[in-house]
Amino acid sequence: MTGSDNTKQNSAKQKMWGGRFSAAPGELMQAINVSIGFDRRLADQDIRGSLAHAAMLAKNDIISQQDLADIQKGLKDIQAEIAAGSFPFTDELEDIHLNIEGRLKDKIGEAAGRLHTGRSRNDQVATDFRLWVRDYLDHFDGQMTDLMSALLDKAAAHTDTIMPGFTHLQNAQPVTFGHHMLAYLEMFARDRSRLRDARKRMNECPLGAAALAGTPYPIDRDMTAKELGFDRPMSNSLDAVSARDFALEALSVAAICATHLSRLSEEIVIWTSAQFQFIKLSDAFTTGSSIMPQKRNPDAAELIRAKVGRIMGALTTLTIVMKGLPLAYSKDMQEDKEPVFDAFDALSLGLAAMAGMVRDMEPNKDRLADSAAAAYSTATDLADWLVRKLNMPFRDAHHVTGTIVALAEKQGKTLDALDLADMQSVEPGISDDVYSVLTPLASAASRTSYGGTAPSEVVKQVARWRDALKSV
């Protein structure tokens, strides 16, 4: 930058700050104060807010129609420059608001200075940030719906694919792969519901609150709120410029959703291991090793699993930034955006990658079935059979079953391979009907209570979710 350019930039900065300051900030102050490096992401929202504000000012005769026309043309030109990558962003004008206002002045002259009538950077940034978060929540809504659709398709294809269900990561009872997929669909459906609740709560407009106390100009806040797609203007000017709970709530939703992504990622990592071999992922979502040619690493799942740390860290960061701030605006709040930007980028990538992995994964049916039969996973079915058929108290049935399991273990047999006579040596009332419940498929098929793992119930839930996702 030439000396002449420096002089111009310093002069512009002094004019932006007004007559109170006789010199531009020093280098250290400039370094800590500047935010254009990250808040340029608010450019589209800043222009949308300024267009709405200018239209309202003109309608209420606060600025002229000619000023409005000049401002609209200038902002549209700036929007095109930003889209084309040719906008001259500069640190000297510190943030996106002053960068756009400075560029607008270059283009239309004096009329640019009238745009800021009746507003402050405090309500301007609050509006921009709220618009940005709302836009991203709408983006997440679509991504969550896509992931839910991927899980539903996988569930529909595997309503009767048997796999082990675990507690403590130990074989517990047989379930169906479709039922397992639907469990995650339910989790992400709740995430989407929380997201929509958060969006509804945040959809109030800060614009017009000005610095903190409102403005003496005869503005129409209902007009700007409607123009920007908000339900209503915020009712308290102090709250309007101070509140960042909309971002905290959005981060909370993101953190919960990321936790669900991490849990599914963990299962994918386990399932693809040589010890489990439950599923296979293609080259699209795995990588190799630089030294071990046989390796197929589930790196996409591992990276999603790790990103929950970034997202939870962002929630903690913003909570700590806000926890000690008095009303109204403090410069601390400049630190609100970077953690949100980073967290939302991470969640968006994680949602997209997970939807891709779910569609890509291929269950190993034979391996799943063999594992479902291991570790006496139908023992509970035997106990339930004793209760239903012999009217045995469950605690007694539990004891009898444990004795039979010990016998099968001693012989190295599965329960369904154990001789009837051996079972009758423990409980004489057992008949050959007991074999109808001792296979993994029979076990799963018997779980017909609402929300159970029986293939017939999974088919019903798939149909219910097909209808539900059609209505979004």
Cα–Cα distance between 67 and 76 in angstroms, integer?
14
Cα–Cα distance between 301 and 286 in angstroms, integer?
9
Residues with Cβ < 8 Å from 36, sequence gap 6 or more? 89, 90, 91, 93, 94, 95, 96, 99
Catalytic residue among 289, 431, 436, 456: 289
Cα–Cα distance between 318 and 259 in angstroms, integer?
18
For residue 339, give the H/E element and its range.
helix 337-360
Catalytic residue among 168, 290, 449, 471: 168
Task: Write b or e for each residue in 171-195: b if 16 or more Cβ atoms lie within 10 A of its Cβ, otherwise e.
Answer: bebbbbbbbbbbbbbebbbebbebb
First to last CA, the chain: 53
Cα–Cα distance between 142 and 126 in angstroms, integer?
25
Instruction: Supply the angle between the helices 245-271 and 121-157 in degrees, to the nearest 10.
Output: 30
Place of tokens 């102050």: 29
Cα–Cα distance between 392 and 102 in angstroms, integer?
84
In terms of C-beta density within 10 A (0-12 exposed, 13-18 middle, 19 or more buried), how is residue 350 classed? buried
* Partners of residue 362 on adjacent β-strands: 280
Q: Is position 168 annotated as part of the catalytic site?
A: yes
Cα–Cα distance between 325 and 42 in angstroms, integer?
23
Residue among 9, 18, 178, 28 at smallest CA distance from 103: 9
The residues annotated as belonging to the active site are 168, 289
